[in-house]
Amino acid sequence: MDNNNDKQLKGFNNFSKFLLIYILIAFFMFYMYQYFTTQQSVEISYSQFKELINKDKVKSCSISEKYIKGIYIDKNGKKRRFITVAVNDPDLIKDLEAHHVDFSGKITNTWLTNLIFGWILPFGFLFFIWWLMTKKMRGTSGGLFGFGKGRFKVYLNEKPDVKFSDVAGADEAKQEIREIVEYLKDPQKYQRLGGRAPKGVLLVGAPGVGKTLFAKATAGEAGVPFISISGSEFIEMFVGVGASRVRDLFNEAKKLSPCIVFIDEIDAIGKSRAFNSLTSNDEREQTLNQLLAEMDGFDSSKGVIIMAATNRPEILDPALLRPGRFDRQIIVDKPDVKGREAIFRVHIKKIKISPDVDVKKLAQMTPGLVGADIANIVNEAALLAARENRDAVYMEHFEEAIERQIAGLKKKNKVISEEEKKRVAYHESGHAICAYLLPGADPVHKISIIPRGLSALGYTQQLPVDDKYLLTKEEMLDKVVTLLGGRAAEEIIFGSVSTGAQNDLSRATDIVRALITQFGMDEEIGLVVLEERSGGRFLTSEGIISQDNKISERTKQLVDEEVAKIMGECYAKAKELLLTHKDKLKMLASELLTKEVINEDELKNIMEGDNGD
């Protein structure tokens, strides 16, 4: 339990402080004893010492290897202590005997001084430096001798102030998790029919979709203890620490049952043991093995639910995902347009907005963005409004925040020559006109020639009317024609092309290659899959796996020829569209050079207006 860990850590720290204080006090007292013993004696020269002997003023003395200490009578007849440096004087003993001085020899014993200054202080200093260096590594694991203690957080009386009402955009996942909460509140409802709660619930989704937020909402709704830990906190440089912390975590969970245990980023310890045998990590594997054993060893009927989150499910060990461990995998997907609208409504409650803010339009302007992105957009819009000393956050602030999120910061001070600016205007106009004319392309929302981000000198923002999960061949080809429209416009107006189309060409080539090799839409290649996207059962990653060992060289050559052929056909179609509407192209580019930004209504007026010819 976290409270026990804190007590152990606090106790060890208090003991360390007291021990250090006692050592310092002892050292100080020893030093002061040495200091005052030396200061109470009058330091005299050896010649003065001999003179005092001859005058019968010295009563007693003790002779050591380095010093001679004793008592003499001063001018006032009072006894005083003296000290002088011993020298090699063969007649000293004869003189002392002749004047009846009580003298004795003294063996100098410096073992204590040597022990303190030669051993204790140097090694103590080295120990202190080592303790400081390993303090961060130990973190809150229980001090110097508590590496194996769990570093989890336990919420007992205080719980996260997040409810299901604060989670929007993933209703299906919310319903699945709500069932877990209901089981913890009323287990008899499910057990009367012989059912049992799942031992483990794995939340899977892209970064920022709200997996951790779901876990906090579960804790806020369930009313049971909530134990939270990150997967990376199990791993240390010391072998066996991770397994020990897993045992500590589950022991605590059994004591607090019914409860919820949440492991964030479980892929840190749950990576497949066969994922890369050449770079195996014994400590991580021991931790995973202990986790698997513990999940088998406890009874879910006692109300201990294990929740975990990951955005890399494809690398998890299969043993973690089998029934009896993480029985239920819940996909927290990217929100659709209705989900994004709900997320916007949750976040704008915290700020003061203007009546002109259209939340539905904001949701349409943010396809593909997740909850974390939307939260950042709302916050950025509020900051922009505050910077301008406005009384509320207006629609223009949200639009600027969205453009910052998608395209980067606006760079009005970036120096661009008039010739380059003109080329950028025609390039973006080419994209916009092709998108406007082609039925399969997404509608144009805004055209801008204001530089943004690292390399974008301009951009054409297209917004889908609705979220699409399937694309036809015609829609994919229309997207390619739109991407190539910028380069085609440059060639028509200037008779040459620039490097500005590099990103357009890359995206267009990816679409055409996917059309041929992944979706079987090319007549020459046929209904075969030559490449497939890497990924697990839950998420689709961006990586492409080519089945090189199953493809002949002739097929590879044919694929390359088909890609070049389709790209050429799409480019010819883009040029044909722009040549047919060359007057619109010039009007739109001229308007862009004047205003720098054109919205969808202005584009529509130009495309549907009368030329005056």
| Sign for the pseudo-dihedral over CA of 584, 589, 593, 599 | positive
The C-alpha atoms of residue 67 and residue 64 are separated, in whole angstroms, by: 5
Contact 532, 547 (CB under 8 A): yes
Nearest Cα residue to 462 out of 325, 602, 367 = 367
In the chain, the amino acid numbered 91 is: D
How far is the CA of 40 from the CAs of 34, 37, 70, 86, in angstroms?
10, 6, 12, 19
Closest to 253 (Cα-Cα) out of 304, 323, 295? 304
Give the span between the Cα atoms of 485 and 479, in whole angstroms.
Answer: 10
Determine how β-strand 153-155 pairs with β-strand 79-85. unpaired
Contact call for residues 503 and 459 (beta carbons, < 8 A):
no
Q: Which of 233, 283, 294, 428 is catalytic?
A: 428
DSSP type of residue 231: G
In this structure, the number of other CB atoms found within 10 A of the CB of residue 350 comes to: 10
Q: Is 29 exposed, middle or buried (0-12, 13-18, 19+ CB in 10 A)?
A: exposed
Distance between CA 206 and CA 368 in Å, rounded? 11
Alpha carbons 546 and 529: distance in angstroms, whole number: 10
Query: Cis omega before residue 258 (within 30°)?
Result: yes
Which 3-state string (H, E, C) describes 323-364? CCCCCEEEECCCCCHHHHHHHHHHHHCCCCECCCCCHHHHHH
For this structure, is 400 an active site residue? no
- Sign of CA pseudo-dihedral 19, 25, 28, 30: negative
Q: Which two tokens stand for residue 360?
A: 């539905």
Give the separation between CA 76 and CA 78, rounded to whole angstroms. Answer: 6
307 touches 213 (CB < 8 A): no
Element (H, E) at 304: strand 304-310
Rounded-to-10 torsion of CA 152, 157, 158, 160? 70
The dihedrals phi and psi of 127, each to the nearest 5 degrees, come to -65, -40
Give the bridge partners for 72, in sequence order.
Answer: 58, 80
Distance CA 538, CA 310 (A): 11
Interatomic CA distance for residues 500 and 423, integer angstroms? 9
Q: Beta strands 58-63 and 259-264: pairing type? A: unpaired
Indicate which residues carry an active-site annotation. 428
